[in-house]
Amino acid sequence: MNRTLATFILLLSLGGCTHQQADPTPGDELVGTWHLTNLQCYCPAGWLPDEQLLLEANQRYQLYRGGRLKSAGRYATSQGNLCGQGASQSLLRLVPDSVGAYAPSGAYTLQANKLVIDQGSACIADAPVATYKRQ
């Protein structure tokens, strides 16, 4: 009886463990050129930069604002939960080649030709949420 109870408790404790799993190759569905169509943030009213995000199949990205290159670097996707809260989410991480360059990273959702990057999710209430449309 004690052995059965100990085994049951061990199985329950192992079932609660989670870890982040890296996806070594970002999905092809992200590859393409994305145009910013909406930005939810604490920004001036009506402010929406002319922004394009190019995600390449070789895990490189380029971010343009106003037609000028703002940042470039590499990107990766993974599954995990931000701040240790909630269920596992799809995560997109853009890592700029230049230190301090802007790169919108966070939890993402992809539905048809709409990419939403939530830069704060449950961690930061006032972080931007960027919506892009595939071009």
* Residue 127 is assigned to a structural domain of this protein: yes
Number of domains the chain is built from: 1
Give residue 90's domain range: 32-134
* Residue 68 is assigned to a structural domain of this protein: yes
pLDDT of residue 17: 39
* Residue 118 is assigned to a structural domain of this protein: yes
pTM, whole model, 2 decimals?
0.75
Query: How many CB atoms within 10 Å of residue 68?
Result: 8
* Residue 3 is assigned to a structural domain of this protein: no
* Residue 24 is assigned to a structural domain of this protein: no
Taking the chain (135 residues) in runs of 10, the rounded mean pLDDT of each run is 41 39 55 96 87 97 97 95 78 95 92 92 77 96
Could you tell me which residues come within 8 angstroms of residue 36 by beta carbon, excluding any fewer than 6 positions away? Answer: 48, 49, 50, 51, 52, 53, 130, 131, 132
| E strand or H helix at 4 | helix 2-15
pLDDT of residue 19: 41
Between CA 7 and CA 29 the distance in angstroms is: 43
| E strand or H helix at 75 | strand 68-80
